[in-house]
A and B are shown apart, each in its own frame.
Chain A
Amino acid sequence: MTISLKVNGKSHEVNDDPSTPLLYVLRNNLGLRGPKFGCGLGQCGACTVHVNGRATFSCILPIAALAGREVTTTEGLMENGKPNKLQQAFIDEEAAQCGYCISGMVMRAQALLNAKPKPTEEEIRGSMSPNLCRCGTHAAILRAIRRAAVA
C-alpha cells in the first residue's frame, strides 16, 4: 500500500504495510538514521521524533496514522547544514556517552523549548521523563537544555 508522508518538509511516497511503525520507514526507506530503535514499545524514547510539532514515539506509530501530519527528525532541526542552538548546546555540554538516546533527547527537549522557551527546572525534568539514558548522562543533558534555553 502506498502512503504519502511529509518528513522534514519533503513529501515522500512510501510503499509498505500500513501497520509498519514510522521509525522503520524513517530509517530503512528514507535513510534517516537519527531516530533509533531502543525498546520498540514506547518505553525508552530513543525513537522520539516530532509529529505536528509534538514529541512522539515513532516506534509505536503506524504509518497508516500519518495522513496529513508532518514529521520532523533530528536531521530536520539542522539550520543551513549546521546543528541548531539546542543541538549545539548538546555538543558544547558533551551531553552524550554512547549517544544512542541523544537524538530522542534532542527531539523531546526541542518540543519543550518550542512550546516554552524559558522552562522551569521542574518543567524540564517533567517533560524529559519519558526518555531514558542508560549511560547516566542525564545531568549533562539537563545542562544542555538549560544552556539552550537561556542562550
Chain B
Amino acid sequence: MRLRAVLIGTLFIGILLVLAGLAWTWRSAIEPISLGAKQVADAKAIRQGAELAAIGNCSDCHTTKSGAPYAGGRALDASPYGTIYSSNITPDPETGIGTWSEEAFRRAMHEGVDREGRHLYPAFPYDHFTHATDQDIHALYVFLMSQQAVRSTVPANDLKFPFNIRLLAAGWKILFLNRGTLQSDSSQSAEWNRGRYLVEGLGHCSSCHTPRNLLGAEKKNSAFAGATVEGWYGPPLNSSIYAAHKWNAEQLAEYLSTGWHKMHGAAAGPMADVAKNLRQASRENVHAMAIYIASLSDDSKAPTAPAQDNPVVNAASEVTAIYTGACAKCHNDRNDVGPSKALPLSRSTAVHQADSANAVRAVLYGIQAYRGSGGPYMPAFDGILTDVQIASVVEYVRARYSAGPQWTDINKQITKARQEGGQP
C-alpha cells in the first residue's frame, strides 16, 4: 500500500514536471499578418537594414549557390547531428516570412522561435542576434520585407534522432542562450563598444572562430580560440593568434572590407563571403569591428614583423622545381606582393597555423571568390598537380616559411577536402 502511494506520488510529480517543462518551453503562435497590412517603410531604415544584413552575413547561409537572394535552402552541415537547410527569409507569404509581423521577427532573432511558436535550431545564431537592439531588428525587418518575394520551399532538415526533436532546442536555450543586450564597458571607447556590439551580436564572428562543446554551443572559456568550419580553420582571434606577425586595427579594417591585406593575405574559404558582404558596410562600422577584434589579441606574443625564409636544404629537386615553376610565379618576392595579389608566403596566416587545413584547401581549390572584382586570386592546383605533389609542396612551404613544427595532417586534409568538394 505504501509502495503504491510512493509510486503514484512519483508519477504525479513526474507528470507535473513534464507539464511544467512544456509550459516553460511552450511558445504561442503570433498572428500572421496579411500582405495588405504591410506598411511602407522609410528608405533610410531599409538602407540601414541592408547594411546590418551585410554585417550579419545573412545572405551567406540563406542563399544557395544558384538560388535567389535570401530564398534559403542552403544545406548546412551540422555534423554530427545531420543536415539543416536554411529557411526562406524573403517576404513570400507561403514559403518565406511574408506573414511574419515585426514582433514575430524580433522573437525569432532574440529567442529563436518562429512565428508559429516552434523552437529554431541554434544553427541560426540567435545566441548572438539576441544582443541586437530593437531598432536594428526593425531595420533588418523592413529591409527583408522590401526584398523580392521568392516562392521556394526549402528541403526538410535531415537530422538524426534525437536531434530531430525540436523541443531539444528549448533545452539548449536554457543552457546556452543568454538573452538581452550587452552592457557597455565604460572603461573602453565608444568605438570599441560599437565594435563589440556588432562583432558579438549581428556579426556573430565567434560562431566560426570559437570552438564548440559537445552540444554545439560555443565554449565561453575558449572565446575566439579558433575553430574548424566547413573544413577550413577559422584561426584564433585571441592572444593565441597564429599570424606570422601581429595584426593591428587598421590592417584588420582593410582586410575585413576588401578581403585582403598585404601583410596578412586573403580572406578565403567561408571568410571570403564575410569579407564580400562587409564591403557593403560603412567604414565606421567596419573600423569599430576591427578595433574590437584587434583588442582581443592585445596581449599576443606574435612578432611585429615577419621574417622567415628557411632554406630547405633537404628538399627533393622535384619539389623545388614545382615550387619554382608553379608557386613562385606569383609568390615571387620575399619582400613584396606579387601578381594576383600573392603574398610572400612568410606573411601567410595559413602557413603559420597549427594544421594544414587552409593551406591544403587554398592549393587544391585556389582562391576564386574575388574573380572579376580585382581582388586576390589563386588558381586551383587540383588536377594541375597530383595529390602527392600537392602534399610535398605544402610540406615544403611550411618548412621554408614558418618556424612551426612540420604538419603531419597534410594527406588527411587532402582526403577530407576532396570529400567536401570545392569551396563555394
Q: Which residues of A contact B (CB under 8 A)?
A: 17-21, 40-43, 51, 54-57, 60-65, 69, 122, 129-130
Contact = CB atoms under 8 A, between A and B. Distances in A.
A56 B326 CA distance: 12
Contacts of A129: 371
Contacts of A17: 321
Given A40-B329, A51-B384, A19 B389 contact: no
B123 interface: no
B385 interface: yes
> Which of B317, B371, B383 has the most chain A CB within a 10 Å cutoff?
B383
B321 A57 contact: no
Given A41-B339, A65-B389, A54 B383 contact: yes
B379 A43 contact: yes
A55 B380 CA distance: 11
Contacts of B421: none
Given A41-B340, A60-B326, A62-B321, A51 B379 contact: no
Contact of A61 (B320, B324, B326, B371): B326
A65 B325 CA distance: 10
Nearest to B318: A64
B66 interface: yes
Interface residues of B, number: 21
B330 interface: yes
B379 A20 contact: no
A57 B384 CA distance: 7
B377 A43 contact: yes
B383 A21 contact: no
Interface in B54-72: 66
Contacts of A122: 66
A33 B314 CA distance: 38
Nearest to B381: A60
Given A41-B339, A43-B340, A64-B318, A21 B379 contact: no
A18 B321 contact: yes
B321 A64 contact: yes
Contacts of A54: 383
Given A19-B320, A61-B326, A62-B322, 5 more contacts: A17-B321, A60-B329, A63-B325, A65-B386, A129-B371
A64 B325 contact: yes
Interface of B: 66, 317-318, 320-322, 324-326, 329-330, 339-340, 371, 377, 379, 383-386, 389
A122 to B, nearest CB: 6
> Which of B320, B340, B371, B384 has the most chain A CB within a 10 Å cutoff?
B384
A62 B383 contact: no
A131 to B, nearest CB: 12
A41 B326 contact: no
A54 B384 CA distance: 8
A64 B322 contact: yes
B365 to A, nearest CB: 12
Nearest to B326: A60
Nearest to B339: A41
A17 B317 CA distance: 11
B194 to A, nearest CB: 39
Nearest to A39: B339
A122 B65 CA distance: 11
A18 B383 contact: no
B384 A56 contact: yes
9 contacts: A41-B339, A43-B379, A51-B383, A56-B383, A61-B385, A62-B324, A64-B322, A69-B386, A130-B379
Contacts of A43: 340, 377, 379
Contacts of A130: 379
Contacts of B371: 129
Contacts of B383: 51, 54-56
> Which of A21, A54, A64, A129 has the most chain B CB within a 10 Å cutoff?
A64
A101 to B, nearest CB: 16
A18 B379 contact: no
B379 A61 contact: no
Contacts of B320: 19
Contacts of B325: 18-21, 60-65
A51 B324 CA distance: 20
A57 B379 CA distance: 9
Contacts of B377: 43
Contact of B379 (A42, A63, A69): A42
A60 B380 CA distance: 11
Contacts of B322: 19, 62, 64-65
A69 B389 CA distance: 13
A147 B66 CA distance: 24
Contacts of B330: 41
